[in-house]
Amino acid sequence: MHDLISANKRRSIFLILGFVLLTVAAGAAAGQVSGNPFFGTSIAMIISAVMAFTSYWKSDKIALRVSRAQPADEQTYKRLHNLVEGLCIAGGLPKPRLYVIDDPAPNAFATGRNPKHAAIAVTSGLLEKLDRVELEGVLAHELSHIRNYDILVSTIAVTLVGTIAILTDLAIRMMWWNGGRVSRSSDRRNSSNPLALIGFALLIIAPIIARIMQASVSRRRESLADVSACQLTRYPPGLISALEKLQADSTVTHSASMATAHMWIEQPLSGVNDAGRLGGFHKLFNTHPPLSERIATLREM
C-alpha cells in the first residue's frame, strides 16, 4: 500500500507538469495561428504559472464554491461530524472541514492541498439515502483520498482543465473576431503556413487531451481509495453496500461540472453508460472505473 501511495505521488507530479506543458503548448498554438508565436507562448507560460500557483493555494475554495457547498453545522449534522471524527482518530488524520451540498443525488468528494488543509463535501442526498455504516464507508473513502494525497492533483486539475478550455476558446474566437467580414493580410499568410495549421489543430485537440488527462487523474485512485477505506473501517460490506446504492441510483449530480467530475466518489454526470458504437471512445472520458468493477474488487477482499 505504501508503494502504491508513493507511486501515486510521483504520478501526481507528472500529471501537474503535463497540464502545465499542455497549457503552454495551447498558448504557443494560439500565437502561431495569430501570427505571433512568441507572444502566445509567453502569455501561456505566465497564465499557467499563475494558475498553478493560485490553484495550489485556492483551488479547494474554488471547487467548493463551484459545487455550491455550505459549511456543515455541528449540531444539524451531528452524525456526519461524529463519523468523521471517529475515522480521523482511527486513521491518525486531522479532522477536515465538512461541507454539505443541497443536491438530491448521493455523492461526495474531498478537496484540499494536504491533510492539514483538506475538506470533505457530501450531498444532502447521500445523507438521506445511506445508513450509518454505509455513510462511514463513503467518508472513509474520502479520507483515504486525503491520506493518499490524491486531493492535491485532483483539485489542481479543476483549475488547469478550465484554463486550457478558456485559453483555446479565446484563441479560436480571436481568429474569427471579424466574423469573416474583413479579409486581413495576416489571415491570408497564416492560411498557407503549415505551422499555423498545426497550431489550429492543436487548439482543437488540446481540450480533448486535457479531458483524457483529467480522466486519468482519478481512475486508479478511486480503486486505491476503496481498498484504503476498507482498511480504515475494517468492514468492507459497509462500502460495498454504499456503492451498490450509488449504482442503483440514477440521479444526476447537478452540483457537479465537467471540471469537477473527477473529484466525486462516482461519475456524477449523465451519459456515462453508453454501450453503443462509440461506447469505447466515450470511456476515454470516464473519470471513474465502473462501480461494478469496484464492487467486485471489494468482494474479493
DSSP summary character for residue 284 = T
122: confidence class by pLDDT, cuts 50, 70, 90: very high
Amino acid identity of 35? G
Instruction: Identify whether the C-beta of residue 44 lies closer than 8 Å to the C-beta of residue 28.
Output: yes
Query: Which among 296, 115, 131 is positioned nearest to 223, based on CA atoms?
Result: 296
* Euclidean distance between CA atoms 109 and 43, whole angstroms: 33
Of residues 65 and 261, the one with the higher pLDDT is 65
- For 114-137, what is the mean pLDDT? 95
Residue with cell 455504516: 133
What burial letters (b/e) apply to 236-256, b meaning 16+ CB within 10 Å? Answer: bebbbbbbebbeebebebbbb
Rounded (to 5) percent helix, strand, coil in the chain:
65, 10, 25
**Residue 35: band (very low, low, confident or very high) from pLDDT cuts 50, 70, 90:** low
Comparison of pLDDT for 62 and 174, the residue scoring more: 62
Q: Give me the pLDDT at residue 255, please.
A: 85
| Proportion of the chain above pLDDT 90, given as a percent | 38
Average pLDDT, the chain: 79
In this predicted structure, the answer to whether residue 136 has a pLDDT above a threshold of 70 is: yes
Pick from 71-80, 81-90, 163-172, 239-248: least confident: 163-172
E strand segments, the chain: 69-71, 97-101, 108-114, 117-123
- Residue 295, pLDDT > 90, answer yes
pLDDT at 153: 76
CA distances from residue 287 to 130, 159, 177 in whole angstroms, order as listed: 23, 16, 35
Residue 50, CB half-sphere, CA atoms under 13 Å: how many?
A: 7
Residue 49, sorted as left (phi over 0), alpha (psi -120 to 50) or beta, turns out to be alpha
Question: For residue 141, what pLDDT band results from cuts at 50, 70 and 90?
Answer: very high
Handedness of CA 221, 222, 224, 229 (dihedral sign): positive
Residue tagged active-site, from 142, 222, 293, 300 = 142
Select from 197, 249, 257 the least CA-distant residue to 62. 257
Mean pLDDT: which of 154-163, 178-187, 265-274 is highest?
Answer: 154-163
More confident residue, 146 or 13: 146
Mean pLDDT of 144-169: 76
* 126 vs 130: CA distance, rounded Å: 6
**What's the pLDDT tens digit per position in 100-117?**
999 999 999 999 888 999
Q: Is the pLDDT of residue 86 over 70?
A: yes
CA distance 125 to 76: 15
In the DSSP assignment, the letter for residue 261 is G
Side-chain half-sphere exposure of 287, counting CA atoms within 13 A? 24
Q: Would the pLDDT of 220 be above 50?
A: yes
Residue type, 136: E
Mean pLDDT of 71-92: 96
Q: What is the mean pLDDT of residues 79-93?
A: 96
Q: Is 300 a catalytic residue?
A: no
- Stretch 172-195: mean pLDDT: 52
Does the structure show a pLDDT above 60 at 190?
Answer: no
Q: What is the pLDDT of residue 134?
A: 97
Residue 290 grid coordinates: 465502473
CB 154 within 8 A of CB 145: yes
For residues 15 and 148, the model is more confident at 148
Q: Does residue 2 carry a pLDDT above 90?
A: no
